[in-house]
Structure formats: structure tokens, C-alpha cells
Amino acid sequence: MILSLSQALTRYAKANRPDLLWQITKFPAHGFATTVAGQCANVPVLTRFAGDNFREHTLSESPGKRLRTYALNNVLGRVAVRGSDATIVLGPYGRKQIISYGGTRTYEIPQPVNRDRFRPASGESRADIRAKLGLPETERLVLTVGRVSQRKGANDLMKAARTLLCRGSSISWCIAGDGPLRHRLNSLPNVTAVGRVPHSEIPQYYQSADLVVCPSHFEGLPNVLLEAAACGTPTLARDVGDCALAASMTYENSDRLPILVEQDYESVDLNDRFDPERLRDAYSEALLKTAATGDW
């Protein structure tokens, strides 16, 4: 796949002579292919590092998969870092990672959030929204949105939910998302695993919650944190990637989760860093300056 993509991009770049090749998603594989094409066709390349790919192999289930994931992310990723003319990162952590792998030119530009769709509820109480969604009408509702997998912290979530259950806590935990560990979550009486939710309904889930928890082991800057903040809901996240930019509180030790979810936090104000006009200008600058690489 990577070879085919590299060849196709190279043919396109040589035939059409674009001012710039810009990789947006799947940094290691697509970044590698885009960088190779740019060097073969002598076209500037701008890559985008939006995750935490260099550590991803540490959670692989087997030595063979761990080696494969390491090679994909760290070997091909290093080529993308060193071979591109500049890299967009989401925050300080991403910048540090790229520099540590040999990158020298970075733009710090987080992703935008649609504030027309994700906004505080108007005219409805949390209890009303919960009733409409069929969620438990408890005093405190904790929400996690995303794939239900080990990588996304589902095992830590289950452990925390069991601890809360043993304590007799009245907290309910709603999980919006599907994945290999969902059936195990459904066995816990204080967890409601609703499965995959239509994207149009996700804002209501944020609005219904007292706290959104992101326990993922690997992240760049999760959309979940930005969307929850835009809805006025406090957030708690593992301190990975650039989560600290958009979380009300971060943690390192998952054993503290049962205590942390019982506490109150203020919702995050999405400041000028996430202003749509600022982001537009930042992207324009990155694109234009990289296309004119002699302007550094």
C-alpha cells in the first residue's frame, strides 16, 4: 500500500507540478509516501503530525505486532519528519516529538471544533436530555466517547467503575462507542455502554454529562475534549499527547480515576488558540511559507 501510494503521488507530482504536497492524516504511512514523492518530483512537502505514533508500539499485543508497529511508525515516521520541509503539530508535545526525531521546522496549529454543532444546551436541563437519551437519572453522570479498546483505556475505565461500585457510589458511567471490550463493560451495573452513536446525537451526550473522561493511552489532541469544552462540559484526560491544552484536569496514574471522577471541575474556555480566524491564518501561513521554501 505504501509503495503504491508513493508511486502514484510521484506520478501525479511530476505530471501536474503542484506548488506543495500536503499530508493531513495517517502520519507515518501517508507522511512517508508524500515525502518520497516530494523528493522524487522536487516539490515541497508539508506533513501533519496529529497523534502520538512514536509510542504506539508499546501497547501491541505480541512481539511480532510490536515490531511491525514500531517499524511502521518510527522508521517510516522518521523519514517523514526529516524529509519534509515543515510539519504541522497540534501543540507543544507534538512539537517536542518532531524535534526529537530530527525535524526543525514546525507550525503549532490545533484542529478546529464546530461550535455551531457543539455548544451548551439551550432550554433543556441535563435531566431532560438524559431522559430523552434513555440515560440513568443519577446525581452524577460520567461520559466517555470513543472506541472501546485497550488502547483507548477501556481496561482502566472498567477497573475504576468496579471500584466505584464497591464503594457504593451513585455515579453512573456512560460509554458512547463500540469496540472489542464493549461486552465486558455491559456486565457492570453502573456502566451504560450505548454502542455507536450517530454523530448528530453526540452533542446531546456531552450536554447530558457532568464530566467527560478521556482515558486513552495514546492521543494527539482528542476531538472529544474540544467538543465537550465547546458544550460547556468539564473534562478529565490522561496526560498524554497535547491533552493538557483542552482538558480541565489531567492525570498520570489511572488508580486515581475513581477519586478524580467524583470531583468537580470547571469547563475549559476554548481561547484564542482555537479561534477559527486564527486557525485559518495559521494554516495559510504554513501552506504558503512551505510552498516557498526559500522564504525561511
Residues 262 and 165 in one domain: yes
Residues 171 and 189 in one domain: yes
**Domain extent for 223:** 126-269
Locate 247 and state its grid cell.
Answer: 482538558
Residues 79 and 138 in one domain: no
Q: How many independent structural domains does the chain possess?
A: 2
- Nearest 5 degrees, angle CA 150-CA 138-CA 114? 60
Burial classification of residue 282, based on how many CB atoms lie within 10 Å of its CB (0-12 exposed, 13-18 middle, 19 or more buried): middle
**120 in a domain, yes or no?**
no
**92 in a domain, yes or no?**
yes
pLDDT above 70 for 128: yes
Residues 100 and 165 in one domain: no
Task: Say what the pTM is.
Answer: 0.91
Tens digits of residue pLDDT in 72-87: 888 889 999 999 999 9
243 and 217 in contact (C-beta within 8 Å)? no
Q: How far apart are CA 244 and CA 76, in angstroms?
A: 28
Residues 17 and 106 in one domain: yes
pLDDT for 163 = 96
Report the CATH number at residue 221. Answer: 3.40.50.2000
Residue 296: pLDDT band with limits 50, 70, 90 = very low
Residues 9 and 131 in one domain: no
Residues 289 and 252 in one domain: no
Tens digits of residue pLDDT in 187-244: 899 999 999 999 899 999 999 999 999 999 999 999 999 999 999 999 999 999 999 9
**201 in a domain, yes or no?**
yes
Tens digits of residue pLDDT in 23-53: 999 999 999 999 999 999 999 999 999 988 8
Residues 265 and 284 in one domain: no
Q: How far apart are CA 267 and CA 231, in angstroms?
A: 9
What distance lies between CA 99 and its chain's CA centroid? 20
